Amino acid sequence: MKISREQHVSHGLLGCAPGTIGRYVLLPGDPDRVPMIAELFEDAREVSRTREFCAYTGTLHGEMVSAVSTGMGGPSTAITVQELAHLGAQVLIRVGTSGAMQKFMEATDLVITWGAVRDEYTSQQFLPLSYPAVADLDVTLALAAAAAELGYRHHIGISQSKDAFYAEHQPERMPVKHKLEQNWFAWRKAGVLCSEMEAAVLFITAPIFGIKAGGIMVAGPSKQSLQNLLKTAVRAIEILIAKEKGGAS
């Protein structure tokens, strides 16, 4: 079921009507990746497409599940979380690409994030910086179990969430060049695994609305690495569904 443009106002910026979103939702940044995720669902259909937001809903083992794009960065991610909470979502998992920060990492490695450096400003509109951006333990363990089961090389650790995409790529163009370089050195020295733009906001906003959240990313956007990423996230949802129902995963 598609939502008309006239309905967008009444259904928020996502354009999703009540009853069209599952309790389990995968969150890519790129709207073009939503149909890729939907191919791994059963009976998937598009329920909304507006601006940077695209939503598909299907089923996994009889449970309604969705994929909804957040767009790039913290502000649109916060909007997505708040509207999904209103629509009844209970588990959100970020799936996306990132930049590897450690020399031992390979482009095809998966990164399961249990926490994020709050190097952005959107989350400060919700909670002060003294509050940590951490993922839900059950979701994190399900992602780790899925990656191990599928045999994909992965790491579990912390990501850096930022606002400026080119801050570390081209610091020499920034007036605060030295600060950016010092921070980048500090994050790497502390063992931060990857750099991305959404996890911290997700981890801060989701618990406020009673939602469990997790994150899994890949260091390189090749077709195969993206498939590995999405298969792992979908498998993690299956594990969570089975755990909730008290059956074997």
Instruction: Give 10-residue mean pLDDT values along the chain (249 residues).
Output: 42 92 97 97 96 97 97 97 97 96 94 98 97 98 98 97 86 87 94 97 98 94 89 98 80
> How is the chain classified by DSSP, letter by letter?
-PPPGGGTTTTTTTTPPTTSS-SEEEE-SSGGGHHHHHTTSEEEEEEEEETTEEEEEEEETTEEEEEE---SSHHHHHHHHHHHHHTT--EEEEEEE-EE-STT--TT-EEEEEEEEEESSGGGGTS-TTS-EE--HHHHHHHHHHHHHHT--EEEEEEEEES-TTTTTSGGGSTTHHHHHHHHHHHHHTT--EEESSHHHHHHHHHHTT-EEEEEEESS--HHHHHHHHHHHHHHHHHHHHHHHTS--
Question: In this predicted structure, what is the pLDDT of residue 246?
Answer: 84
**pTM for the whole thing?**
0.93
* CATH class of domain segment(s) 5-245: alpha beta
Residues 6+ apart with CB under 8 A from 204: 118, 123, 126, 127, 131, 133
Question: In this predicted structure, what is the pLDDT of residue 7?
Answer: 42
The full set of domain ranges for the chain reads 5-245
Question: In this predicted structure, what is the pLDDT of residue 121?
Answer: 97
Question: In this predicted structure, what is the pLDDT of residue 238?
Answer: 98
Question: In this predicted structure, what is the pLDDT of residue 105?
Answer: 94
Question: In this predicted structure, what is the pLDDT of residue 219?
Answer: 87
Question: In this predicted structure, what is the pLDDT of residue 248?
Answer: 57
